[in-house]
Each structure stands twice: as C-alpha cells, then as structure tokens.
C-alpha cells in the first residue's frame, strides 16, 4: 500500500509470514523487504547482517488493539491493554531504539483509550 502511494510498482516475488524467516532471507542475500519495527525486533538476531532504512514519507504506521466482547470482562480487557502498552513502551521500544537509534522518532506507544480501565487503573 505504501509503495502504491509513492507510485512504485514493485513485483512481489515472495510473501513470508515469519519475521525471523524474512530477515534471515534478507541477511543471506535474497533481496530486500518492507517490514515493521516489531518484526525487526523479532528477527533481531540478524541485525548485524542487515541494513535498516526508513521508508520515504508519507510514513506508514501500525496500530494494535485489545478486543473483548461488550459487557463481558471489560475490566480485564482494559487491564490487559494497559499491560500490553507497558510492555511495548518499556521493553520493545527500548530494544528497537538500541538496535536502530535513528528510529527513535518513528516508534512510539500512544495511550489512547476509550474505556476507564484501559490503563489498568480504576
């Protein structure tokens, strides 16, 4: 989608579901890939053998959601969302920024909520 916005017509040769496999193939010389910071983190064992560069603007973004049924364990879903956000903020962001310092401004954890217990607090 991002490439289409930039009017780049790249031919797809492979689609890989595993971040580890994707980065291993790139590290072994199979070509290049577009991926997300979390996928980079999952395949970080290959970091010394790959070059990571940002995509040209407009930038792409990824949003994660914790989903639960209405009126069923809503408080627990909110607590899980808060825990997930803390893990992403304190662990994943720090590791990504350590491996690729230029990515500092591109990775952030936003705490938007629509439920009072989303922060894990009442």
The pLDDT value recorded for residue 46 is 94
Residue 112 neighbours by CB under 8 Å, 6+ apart = none
Residue 121 neighbours by CB under 8 Å, 6+ apart = 82
Q: Which pTM was predicted?
A: 0.67
pLDDT, tens digit (0-9, with 9 covering 90-100), for 62-108: 777 788 888 888 788 888 888 988 888 888 888 888 888 887 666 66
pLDDT, tens digit (0-9, with 9 covering 90-100), for 3-38: 788 888 877 777 888 899 999 999 999 888 888 888
The pLDDT value recorded for residue 117 is 44
Q: Which of 108, 9, 111, 92 is nearest to 59 (CA)?
A: 108
- Six token digits for residue 58: 């407009």
Is the backbone of residue 75 left (phi > 0), alpha (psi -120 to 50) or beta? alpha
Rg (C-alpha) for the chain, rounded Å, is: 17
Is the backbone of residue 7 left (phi > 0), alpha (psi -120 to 50) or beta? left
């Amino acid at each position: 989608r991002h490439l289409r916005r930039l009017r780049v017509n790249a031919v797809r040769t492979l689609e890989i579901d595993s971040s580890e496999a994707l980065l291993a193939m790139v590290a072994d010389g199979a070509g290049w890939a577009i991926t997300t910071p979390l996928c980079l983190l999952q395949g970080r064992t290959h970091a010394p053998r790959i070059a990571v560069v940002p995509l040209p603007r407009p930038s792409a973004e990824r949003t994660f959601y914790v989903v639960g049924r209405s009126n069923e364990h809503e408080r627990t879903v909110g607590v899980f969302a808060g825990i997930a956000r803390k893990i992403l903020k304190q662990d994943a962001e720090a590791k990504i920024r350590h491996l690729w310092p230029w990515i500092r401004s591109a990775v952030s954890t936003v705490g938007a909520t629509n439920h009072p217990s989303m922060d894990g607090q009442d």
